[in-house]
Amino acid sequence: MQDLTSPDHPERDLIRRWHLAHVKRTEAVPPLNEGWRSRNITPRAAEGLELLEQFRLTRDLGKFQSASDLWSRSFPSGYSGFAGQMIINQISKRTADPELSAEILIDALTAPTDLDEARRKINDLAEHLTTVNVPETRAPFVASYYWGLADPDRWPVAWPKSSDYLIYCTGRTDFPDQAARYAELHQFAAEIDGDILRFEEVAAWWSNERPVIVDDVLCDRARLRAEWQLGQEDNELYRENAQVLVAVAAHIGGSLENEVSAAVGRTLNSRKPPLKWTATRYRGDLWVDWRVPGTYGLAVRVWLNGEGLSIGLRPYPHAEAGATQEMVDVIDDHSLEGYDVIAGGRSTLGTDRGYVGGGAGEIIYARWFNRSEINSLDLRAEILKTAAEVAPLMTVLGGAPEPDDTSGIIPEDHEVVPVDADSDLLDDLAEELLVDREFLDEIIELLEDKGQVIFYGPPGTGKTYFARKLAEALVADPRGRPIVQFHPSTTYEDFFEGYRPATNAEGQLSYHLKPGPLAQLAERAHRAPEERHIMIIDEINRANLPKVLGELLFLLEYRGTPVRTLYRPDEPFALPENLWFIGTMNTADRSIALIDAALRRRFHFVPFFPNLGHMSKMLDRWLEREEEKPWVGELVRQVNEELELELGGPHLQLGASHFMKPGIDKPSLRRIWKYNIEPFIEDQFFGDPERIEKFRFQAVWERFEDVAGDITGIDGSDSPPVD
């Protein structure tokens, strides 16, 4: 963890200056939530501490849960929602050992004497939460809220919005445990700011208002990394520096995506830079793109380095050879006053403004702002002004807006020359799919190992969508990534090749060997050995696989080895190394245990389960990104835990995609449940009406409400800005 308390740590001053830039903004325009704690929590703090004291004396977990639930909902406490009181409710109702839970909770909620004891309390609580199927990430907030009641000037509350602001300012997300998360928050509030209550209010303001701020401290971060040109390396320092630059870029991009799209008059997708310039060098600049879907890099761009800031047009609808000169010629015919062609790091065209990043030929057509102008810059206004001004040129370069044109396909006969090493499709894909980049890298490694994987899990977990998007990122030409859906009637002849009847002009019947989708793709892969090809086999388990695959089962394991096939005994056939397979399999239809052992040996199996592994909390991440109601994720998680207990495993849980609906609320959730979830439940529990009734919407809602408390109310204007 960064030791931000050390005055010699270079990050300390950079983080402090960046935070103070936000403090300055709140001082100029006081936030609406100013004084929220003193108005709401301070007058009622003694009551909460008295409840804790009674809990300490009685050790009655149920009584404390009931009393604290009523107390937290009797005023704008900031604790009555899912991150706070609901966790205590869940502990009380799910624990198998109430006495142990009472002991751990009493200890955790009692204010610590020092930071070491605070760490121990949070980790003890986090460990206990996992025993009652509650995310351990809730521990810092649940505990620190009560510490803040006892001593708000010493113990910052780990409000969810404070934690988000911490990530934005430090770029740090890789904490070894929950205690380390809180320790860094404490260091920031108590040491970097020095005024814990001010820190909490600034963090809440930032989260509520989503301000777009730029400050010359970001230029200093860029200058810090520019030393790489001299061969000086401090990877740990540069990693921390790059994490902040990327976090700021992500915030600016997401905050302005809708506004920039409106200014341009077309849908744009925000893109942040990857953490590294190259495989070994952490980045030292900051850029944000609002990119036209389906293009290589046609975007409104903000690009900051140590010398200043460019705001303009990144003019790359495609990445063909000679793209930069082509775009410069178009720009010359449609020049804009105040704009200049500015060179990227290795460009021979354009004005040199000191950029280091960017691939061969990268330019930006932009207005330039010197470092001395940055602190007084209204970044939001300048970005929107630029977006409106470059919109006509964007149309000239990329055509009129085409909302359905999102393929991003580069024609097969074009020579593709990388223009920007930062344009990492897998980083973009990971962000779109709400998974870690490491997960995508792991799947690619599995494909490189065996050449084929199967995504397996319950319906609605996004297996097919994930497979399609990954194939699109890895194979540009759609002819090199076909999708085949298996069903019980699929045959060897349908999939690979077989004789089909045909009549000639005289009406005579004859039979011809007709290649199926696999034979066609294999031939294509043989002709282009340097290109990757992928076949997606949807619902692979629904077919009779040994019968459909035949001798191909051997070829999956022994690539490049020719065998004589059923209909071509004189023409040996081999599966090329550059042909990969991604299968999808619904565990609601068939267990992996029933898949032929020989087939299982030839595939890597990647689980897609809502409550496990890389797919866990995906719905929560989507709800947060789309600013939808978080209780939806809590309800689905509870039902999935119940289904896992009822069915003895996770293979029939509810997938997140059922609930990824804009504007989802209780009435729309009820409709989803009635027409999507209940038929699935009735099928799984056929002949068992008691269990079917248990998972009807009303029964599910009543159980959830019993744990969650009153979740349907709407807080007033003086509601907590942080929970």
Q: Give the tens place of pLDDT for each residue, 374-412.
A: 999 999 999 999 999 999 999 999 876 654 433 333 333
Q: How many residues does the chain have?
A: 723
Tokens representing 137?
């990430």
d(CA 457, CA 459): 7
Please name the residues in contact with 543: beta carbons below 8 A apart, sequence gap of 6 or more. 486, 487, 488, 490
Residue 536: name the closest of 548, 521, 524, 523 by CA. Answer: 521
| 317 contacts 324 by C-beta, under 8 angstroms | no
* Measured distance CA(55)–CA(105) in Å, rounded: 10
Strands 579-586 and 533-538, how do they pair?
A: parallel
The first and second tokens of residue 671, run together, are 């409709």
674: DSSP letter = I
List Cβ neighbours of 374 (8 Å cut-off, separation of 6 or more): 214, 215, 216, 218, 219, 308, 309
The predicted structure's pLDDT at residue 644: 84
> Which residues have C-beta within 8 Å of that of residue 108, sequence separation ≥ 6?
121, 122, 124, 125, 139, 142, 143
Which three-class secondary structure state does DSSP give residue 237?
Answer: helix
Looking at residue 34, its pLDDT comes to: 67
Please give the pLDDT value at position 412: 33
- Whole-model pTM: value is 0.73
List the CATH code of the domain at 216-398.
Answer: 3.30.930.20
Residue 216: the pLDDT is 95
Nearest Cα to 543, choosing from 484, 459, 598? 484
Angstrom CA distances, 658 to 66, 423, 661, stand at: 33, 32, 8
- Angstrom distance (rounded) from CA 521 to CA 475: 13
CATH 3.40.50.300 domain locations along the chain: 427-607
Q: Which of 75, 76, 73 lies closest to 88 in space, CA to CA?
A: 73
Q: Is the CB of residue 214 less than 8 Å from the CB of residue 304?
A: yes
Q: Which phi and psi (to 5°) does residue 718 adopt? A: -100, 25
* DSSP codes of every residue in 686-706: TT-HHHHHHTSHHHHHHHHHH
- Residue 440 and residue 436: Cα distance in Å, rounded? 7
Please count the other Cβ atoms lying within 10 Å of the Cβ belonging to residue 59: 14
Give the DSSP letter of residue 497.
Answer: E
Q: Which ranges of the chain have pLDDT less than 50?
A: 1, 4-5, 228-230, 403-423, 711-723
The three-class DSSP label of residue 649 is: coil
Q: By three-state DSSP, how is residue 532 classified?
A: coil
Q: Which long-range contacts (CB under 8 A, 24 or more apart) does 109-114 make?
A: 109/52, 109/55, 109/142, 109/143, 109/146, 109/147, 110/52, 110/56, 110/146, 111/146, 111/147, 111/150, 111/151, 111/155, 112/147, 112/155
For 154, the 3-state DSSP assignment is: coil
Domain with CATH 3.30.930.20 in the chain: 216-398
Angstrom distance (rounded) from CA 487 to CA 711:
43
- If you ran DSSP here, which 8-state letter would residue 541 be given? G
Q: Name the CATH topology of 427-607.
A: Rossmann fold (3.40.50)
CA distance 7 to 242: 21
Give me the pLDDT at residue 709, please: 60
Alpha-carbon gap, residue 158 to 186, rounded angstroms: 9
Distance, in Å, from the CA atom of 669 to the CA atom of 634, rounded to the nearest integer, reads 13
> 421-457 burial, b if ≥16 CB within 10 A, otherwise e?
bbbbbebbbbbebbbebebbeebbebbeebbbbbbbb
